[in-house]
A and B are shown apart, each in its own frame.
Chain A
Amino acid sequence: MNNTAIRPKRWTFFAYLIPGVVIYAFMVLVPLVLALRYSFYKWSGGPKMEWIGLKNYQILLQDEKFWGAFINNLLIVGFSVIGQIGIAFIIAIFLMNKWVKWREFHRTVIFIPVVLSSVVIGFLWSMIYNNDAGLLNWLLTSLGLESWIKPWLDDPNVVMYSVTAPIVWQYIGFYLIIFMASMQSINGEVYEMAEIDGATGMKKTLYITLPLMKDTLKIAVMLCIAGNMKAFDSIFVMTGGGPGNSSTVMAQYAYDTSFKAFKLGYGSAISIGIMVLSVGLIMISRLIGGKSND
């Protein structure tokens, strides 16, 4: 590379980087370090802090509620990886076909929920699930399926599926955009060559589109795991973690512990726990995804 003529000086680079780094440090790194520090204390918000070492973590490892919440998160992650990424992929393939009309329109409509605030999504869906006036029960009734009607957000056996559905629905558009961009960047000549060799629709998808999108898919899975390990807002609006703890996710548990029970030390320990588990899960997914590629 011989473009040093227009390359700015070294310090200019740093000067431009500083605002971003400073904001990042104060918004992410400093709170993280503080949370780590608080997690070693018994602390209820005032200046009185009692150092208790690793006791919070000891309790955390045996905390049924925390692990129950972790299972709930895993359920959401599982459904989201299959639901969000799977459905988005299928829709993306459809939309890439030449015969599809109004491509932009479809894409925009599917993308709208991503833009909406999760609180709005939560309210919308709690109206859909509403017992008396809800859209879902009305639909079931008009189809003659009254026996399928359930207290969607009140039955502890159903509630997790009920709160996962909106999350899956909301983010399909997000992955759709990523996939469509990635598909558009695949060189059209590859498809032409394959067509000459006799590859048809399904085969083109399996043997050309999928392998060439592998890196995009891996990133999508990672985003999906990271996003759903911190799932909170729409569930908070719909059920508040209830009934009991049956729809409590880890972030909700951390919130309840810190700001309702005022155990800020233990709440910090839970937050650190969430981070460790999330990073762990992402590492595992990378191991699985990376093996065949490299």
Chain B
Amino acid sequence: MKKGLKRWTSMLLISCMALVVAGCGSSQSSSGSGEQAEGKKEPIKFMHMFDKNAEGGGLHQAELLDTFITENPDIKLDQEVQSHDNYETKIKTLAAANELPDVFLIKSSMVTTFVENGLVMSVDELLDKDADWKNGFVDGALDTYQVDGKTYGIQFSGGPTHAIYYNKDLVAQAGFNEFPKTWDDFLKLIDNLKAKDITPIAFGNKGKWLANSSYMSTLGDRFTGTEWFNKLVNNQGSKFTDPEFVQALTLFQDLAKRGAFNSDMNSIDNNQMKTLYYNGKAAMFIEGAWASNAVETGGPKEILDKTELAIFPAIDGAKGEQNGVSGGGGWAYAVNVNIDKAKLDDVAKMLKFLSDKDAAKVILKYGDIPSSKVENMDELNLSPMTKKMVKMLETTKYVPIYDSRLSPGLTESMNAAMQDMLIGQITPEKAAEVMQKEFDNEM
């Protein structure tokens, strides 16, 4: 009896352990129904983070992938699905061990490192075979994945990280029936709103990234121009301490000094700031395209109906392009340089299916901004916010998102320096010095 119990216990323990080990990576092997239809084809190893059962972004890719598998039973996929947070760690580890799958996702900040280490192949080869696919992309959508003129990533969606969501009633009450077109008018709007005891811009920067991603990336480029940023990342002489960049920082600090933001901007996060907006206590908030979905699902109906979109107005005397909006970066598909060439056609077929103009419609349906142009958009049954967003983007141009292009270490120190600057602890010059010092350390 005793012995039996012992054996049972040990078996139970061992099976527990086996379960734990198995649970660590949810490797999901799926193949079409028509197995062996085309002889012995090696499956395409594909690692991604699109789980159709999970909440959050990327649901459109999961849906597209499902459709692709059903429509193409002859193409076998060996999928590995990771959660978003695990994915980044895992892909870096695999890259360092040179054990990358055939197709995977990379972020624009990783491209240079991956190319330098000879891990990814140029996807121009795939794109050039299909002009329809190649020319279908929004202008500049693939620029962030280029090194030395060659493209290494195929993006499927990537909206702007900057958009001003404003309550048109409150803005009208402050004397503007239309959103201001010049920076001076924008400042006037802020003053008028303040005089009416309305918080001009709800700002929740507790996570520290919002100031960088949704404000500074756009403001900075308005002053410096994109050329400056390209020189910065390639270490060709641009510095954070350049007068243009400091001007942008100063302008940003002036907004805070003027009282454009709520006084608790550093202790509330980007969800709490939307609550201020939903309550009608704030006239605007500034965040990326992803927030439009949040307003639609989380905001009260009367606020949603009044919400319009804008971007920062043109700034007098700034030398960059004044319709620039930070955006476009993010995740993109990349192909292993060591991939078996026989698989390339299937890979191209799959990536086209996930990112071309037909895929774009599915992406729009989920409220994301696709990287390919969409034809006959009026026929699509889109939500009003998505329509407004797409319309706004017709006249804008994407400029680099600082925190998706620069290294994590530099981003972290930029974020902290900006928070210090916004509460007046340090001057814009000092903030620029802090950033430059971290930049020099890394180069």
Question: Which residues of A are interface residues toward B (Cβ below 8 A)?
Answer: 45-48, 126, 129-132, 151-156, 238-240, 242-246, 256-257, 260-263
Contact = CB atoms under 8 A, between A and B. Distances in A.
Contact of B266 (A47, A243, A256, A263): A243
A131 B419 contact: no
Contacts, number: 78
A252 B97 CA distance: 30
A243 B409 contact: no
Nearest to B205: A242
Question: Which of A151, A156, A256, A261 is the most central at the interface, judged by chain B CB atoms within 10 Å of its CB?
Answer: A261
Contacts of B27: none
A55 to B, nearest CB: 12
Nearest to A130: B264
Contacts of B411: 261
B30 interface: no
Contacts of A129: 267
Nearest to B209: A260
Nearest to A149: B263
Interface in B383-436: 408-409, 411-413, 416-417, 419-420, 422-423, 425-426
B281 interface: yes
B419 A244 contact: yes
Contact of A242 (B281, B408, B409, B419): B419
A245 B416 contact: yes
Nearest to A242: B266
Given A47-B96, A154-B267, A242-B416, 18 more contacts: A45-B92, A132-B281, A153-B267, A154-B264, A154-B265, A155-B423, A239-B267, A242-B208, A242-B267, A242-B419, A243-B266, A245-B416, A256-B412, A257-B412, A260-B408, A261-B408, A261-B409, A263-B409
Interface of B: 89, 92-93, 95-97, 205-208, 262-267, 276, 281, 408-409, 411-413, 416-417, 419-420, 422-423, 425-426
A240 B416 contact: no
Contacts of B281: 132
B83 to A, nearest CB: 16
Contacts of A126: 267
A240 B206 contact: yes
Contacts of A256: 412
A45 B419 contact: no
B13 to A, nearest CB: 13
Contacts of A132: 276, 281
Which 4 interchain pairs have the tightest Cβ spacing? Answer: A244-B420, A46-B96, A153-B267, A243-B266
A155 B264 CA distance: 9
B94 to A, nearest CB: 9
A111 B12 CA distance: 39
A153 B92 contact: no
Contacts of B423: 154-156, 243-244
24 contacts: A45-B92, A45-B93, A47-B93, A131-B263, A154-B263, A154-B267, A156-B423, A156-B425, A239-B266, A239-B267, A240-B207, A240-B208, A242-B266, A242-B267, A242-B416, A243-B267, A243-B419, A244-B426, A245-B420, A246-B425, A257-B412, A260-B412, A261-B413, A263-B409
A239 B263 CA distance: 14
B91 to A, nearest CB: 10
